[in-house]
Chains A and B, each alone.
Chain A
Amino acid sequence: MTWRRALYFLPLVAFLALAAYFLRGLAPGYDPQVLPSVLIDKPAPTFDLAGLKSATPLTNRDFAGEIVFVNFFASWCAPCRGESPVLMDLSRRNVIQLYGIDYKDKPEDAIKFLQEFGDPYRRIGVDESGRTAINFGVYGVPETYAIDRAGRIRWRHVGPLTTQVVQTEIMPLLKRLGAS
């Protein structure tokens, strides 16, 4: 008869399991809208983009043998303004090699944007059609990707970069990838 009595606790056990699952959704910083990238550890898509301000074009061949970060941004994107001080700081301290891809933007608007908020990028490619972004799996700017020396995507961040993301994700990532 004891097993039947144990059965009465089944609803409680089921409730606790469900509650634990829901608690995960309440954890600070958990955003159910953020998708994991399917391209992690896969080769970065190839691209060949015109450079901004008729500067040299940007292609993925430029990254060969380097650990680089690619930031998709646009002048019309409000969170991009928010992350710009973080990007400027990273580039000033020379922590990462940062390249920009200007997503669905008018070049003159992008130039104005960079004049106002600063230009943290080594070079900028213009993705007016948005096809390069789709090949990366971008679904909203800003997004940032890390590509390792072998040309594989190792990390992706959706949304603006913050100092917290730099401390908790980018710095450990650089250590893992063996950046000098």
Chain B
Amino acid sequence: MIRVLAAAAILLGLAHAALAVEPSEMLPDPKLEMRAEAIGKQLRCLVCQNESIEDSGADLAHDLRVIIRDRLKAGDTDAQAIKYVVDRYGDFVLLKPPVEPATYLLWFSPFAILAIGAAGAWLYIRRRPAPPDEPLDLNQRRKLERLLLDDQ
């Protein structure tokens, strides 16, 4: 178990090391660099489309990483830096789509489907005929005993 955990820890460490950020891109201020990395992880690389710009080795991802860092150095807030990229590439660059009327279906349909299923299940259970709960009378009990004895 400990070995498995150790292996997992090493792999996780490697996964972090696999970020595509090059040392030359990093900001000297660790606080600013951390903010830049956090922003980069939220932004989609438009070349690979399933990686964040922080993970992607594509040229465009490199340029966008540098731009994010330039914006932060120039005093942008995180939201302003993100808006800079969204203004050019649209909401698609956000790996987590914003909650707005156009994405309500995306965000809330799982809950709607769950509610429909729950309503259906509730209706079904309520309509199922109740199991008979009167106790057996004397004749029925005798008949039952005879049947059980026959089986043996």
Residues of B within 8 A of A131 (CB): 63, 67
- Shortest B32–chain A CB gap in Å is 21
Contacts of B92 in A (CB 8 A): 35
Which residues on the A side are within 8 Å of B86 (C-beta)? 38
B90 proximal to A (CB < 8 A)? yes
> Interface on chain B toward A: helix, strand, loop, or mixed SS?
helix
In the complex, B107 has a CB within 8 A of chain A: no
Q: Are B60 and A130 in contact (CB under 8 A)?
A: yes
Contact of A135 among B59, B64, B88, B90 (CB under 8 A): B88
B8 at the interface (CB under 8 A from A): no
A140 touches B87 (CB 8 A): no
Which residue in A104, A129, A137 is a CB contact (below 8 Å) of B89?
A137
**Is residue A33 within 8 Å, beta carbon to beta carbon, of the partner chain?**
yes
B64 CB contacts on chain A under 8 angstroms: 134
CB neighbours (8 Å) of A36 from chain B are 90
Q: In the complex, are the beta carbons of B63 and A35 less than 8 A apart?
A: no
Contacting B at CB under 8 A, from A93-136, are 104, 129-131, 134-136
Interface size class of B (residues with CB under 8 A): 10 to 19
List residues of A (70-105) whose CB comes within 8 Å of B's CBs.
Answer: 104
Nearest CB in chain A: distance from B100 CB, A: 14
A residues in contact with B60, CB < 8 Å: 130, 134, 139-140
Chain A minimum-CB-distance residue to B59: A104
A174 within 8 A of B: no
Interface residues in B42-93 by Cβ distance below 8 A to A read 46-47, 49, 59-60, 63-64, 67, 86-90, 92
Minimum CB–CB distance for A170 against chain B, Å: 23
Known interface pairs A130-B63, A139-B60; A35-B47 also in contact (CB < 8 Å): no
Knowing that A33-B49, A35-B89, A137-B89 touch, tell me 15 more A-B residue pairs with CB under 8 angstroms.
A38-B86, A39-B88, A104-B59, A129-B63, A130-B59, A131-B63, A134-B60, A134-B67, A136-B88, A137-B88, A137-B90, A139-B46, A139-B60, A140-B46, A140-B47
